[in-house]
Amino acid sequence: MQVEQIPNPLIKRALLTPDRTAIAFNKVQYSFKELYEHSHKTAGKLARHGVKKDLYTAVLLGNHMDTAVILLALQLIGARAVMINSRLTAEEIVWQLNDSRSAFLLAEERFQETIAAVKERISTVKVVTKEKLFQTPFTEPELITEVALDDVCSVMYTSGTTGAPKGVLQTYGNHWWSAVGSALNLGLREDDCWLCAVPLFHISGYSILMRSIFYGMKMVIHEHFNEKETIQDIREEKVTIMSVVTAMLARILDELKDDKLPETFRCMLLGGGPAPLPVLETCVSKQIPVYQTYGMTETASQIVTLSPEYSVKKLGSAGKPLFPASIKIIAGNGTEAEPYQSGEIVVKGPNVAKGYLNYDKNYGRSEGGWFHTGDIGYLDEEGFLFVQDRRSDLIISGGENIYPAEVEGVLLSHPHVKDAGVIGVEDGKWGQIPVAFIVKKANVNEQEIIDFAKCRLAKYKVPKKIYFIRELPRNASKKLVRRKLREMIGKDEDLPSALK
């Protein structure tokens, strides 16, 4: 079967609109022609180091113009970018490099601890710092002028419900159809400009970069989120769209006080769960449209979106599926659920990833190509999706996904911990935070457990509170009943005295 191909996105964009602004970073503007020239030069430097088509190449970089250039340079030579979350520990990163069998690690010099750990533990990975890369002599690279829609463009790791991270294989076709679906939903204007203060190593940030190339749209990159700088750039750069999570949006609203955003701004794309009613009401009063979304790494960004005119009427809903995606709810008996009947959310569409690295291509899929998200929700009579439980036990903290099983695995490796259970509790600042229930087999205190976890987990995954109890609630098959842990906290700010 013939595989459909499209021109290499950056080469095509530089041909179509070379003088249009591509990226604004630290008050400097770069045209698509300049972006291509920088990326072409960097592709030659990568080729000099041996990076080539189809090689898995890990990228450990922060939000920066240089990062966009390196990611696009990898596309120019057909290498597959393995996106590494810079907030992970060295131990977690080494695991992902091994699992992906990455041939290279492109990293900033500031990640010395990780670089040292990689060099010590993996002999097959060649580490090249960004600083060294840019000093490398140029060699004319063999450019990939066309890409197959089925070719893997990027790999992003997402933890499974068992706690084992899985590399999501995102194709050029996934990114293309994600951009098409977003454009058909939000519309596309010649003056559109998307502010990216979310990480480029996440699908939320990477998808903005891809849309910028596909649309010919200016992208404003921020190294970190800062509400004052965000508002300033929305005004000065004439930003029209911004991707946020609730915590970011709340900080922007607080900073605005009685002010409003300029009329040129037209959309806050909100991920990471529905916004509280007070936040939405403030946005309505300030005439800030909010599009609430549901998506995941496996769907190359949003797949369901709620238009702002329904944000209050359908409070708590993620909306309806974008073109050309489809969703349905599968009840416990395997049949399609009726309206308001809860079940597993399954999705289908050309933006859904082709699979996971090192897994069977049909893993997580059923007949007809439906992808099983593991999330629980229902559709109302009008087809609006309500997500009830993200991957059943998933904790979403400040837009970051935390899987309890992964945290529990680390806690159980402590020599004085007999059993461990982790759940998320509501938090006004982060949405949710992780807390842990520990059964001791020797004397250990809360701070010792937290310090132990800090050395092995990203900061946002470390439990913020430890409860010591005699026994964890488990069912007949010895599975942890997290619902009962939540009930314990619900009854008392601490714990019932019988369990302390």
CATH number of the domain where residue 404 is located: 3.30.300.30
For tokens 């701070």, what's the residue?
Answer: 447
Per the domain annotation, does 385 fall within a domain?
A: no
Q: How far apart are CA 216 and CA 189, in angstroms?
A: 10
81: pLDDT strictly greater than 90: yes
Say whether both 194 and 278 belong to one domain: yes
Beta bridge mates, 420: 438
Say whether both 312 and 374 belong to one domain: yes
Per the domain annotation, does 384 fall within a domain?
A: no
Bridge-based pairing state of the strands 365-366 and 370-379:
antiparallel
Which residues make Cβ contacts (< 8 Å) with residue 451, sequence separation at least 6? none
Say whether both 135 and 256 belong to one domain: yes
**CATH number, domain with residue 236:** 3.40.50.12780
What distances in angstroms separate CA 9 from CA 76, 175, 194, 323, 375, one per listed residue? 9, 11, 18, 21, 33
44: pLDDT strictly greater than 50: yes
For residue range 237-284, list pLDDT tens digits in order. 999 999 998 888 989 999 999 999 999 999 999 987 777 778 888 999
Say whether both 372 and 486 belong to one domain: no
For residue range 333-345, list pLDDT tens digits in order. 899 999 999 889 9
Q: Which helix (H) or strand (E) holds 128?
A: strand 126-129
Q: Which helix (H) or strand (E) holds 449?
A: helix 446-454
Say whether both 307 and 437 belong to one domain: no
Per the domain annotation, does 388 fall within a domain?
A: no
Q: Where are the alpha helices (DSSP H) in 25-142?
A: 32-49, 65-76, 90-100, 112-121, 130-135
What is the residue type of 360?
D
Contact 469, 494 (CB under 8 A): no
Say whether both 189 and 253 belong to one domain: yes
Q: How confident is the model at residue 478 (pLDDT cuts 50, 70, 90)?
A: low
Task: Give me the pLDDT at residue 482, please.
Answer: 83
Beta bridge mates, 327: 347
**Cα pseudo-dihedral 167, 168, 172, 176, rounded to 10:** -150
Task: Give me the pLDDT at residue 476, please.
Answer: 45
What distances in angstroms separate CA 344 from CA 40, 363, 386, 428, 477, one per listed residue? 45, 16, 11, 28, 22
Say whether both 92 and 134 belong to one domain: yes
Q: Do you know the residue count of the chain?
A: 500
Say whether both 201 and 289 belong to one domain: yes
Say whether both 245 and 310 belong to one domain: yes
Of 198, 206, 201, nearest to 223 (Cα)?
Answer: 198
Say whether both 292 and 324 belong to one domain: yes
Considering 207-221, 246-260, 416-430, the range whose residues carry the highest mean pLDDT is 207-221
Eight-class DSSP state of 309: G
Say whether both 350 and 479 belong to one domain: no
Per the domain annotation, does 175 fall within a domain?
A: yes
Eight-class DSSP state of 149: T
Per DSSP, the three-state class of 245 is strand
Per the domain annotation, does 49 fall within a domain?
A: yes
Say whether both 463 and 361 belong to one domain: no
Please identify, among 379, 408, 435, the residue that sits at the C-terminal boundary of a domain: 379
The residue ranking higher by pLDDT, 134 or 158, is 134
Phi-psi region at 348: left, alpha or beta (left = phi > 0; alpha = psi -120 to 50): beta
Per the domain annotation, does 389 fall within a domain?
A: no
299: pLDDT strictly greater than 70: yes
88: pLDDT strictly greater than 70: yes
Range of the domain at 149: 5-379
Eight-class DSSP state of 234: H
What distances in angstroms separate CA 454 from CA 318, 396, 459, one per listed residue? 34, 18, 6
24: pLDDT strictly greater than 50: yes
Alpha carbon distance, N-terminus to C-terminus of the chain: 63
288: pLDDT strictly greater than 60: yes
Count structural domains, the chain: 2
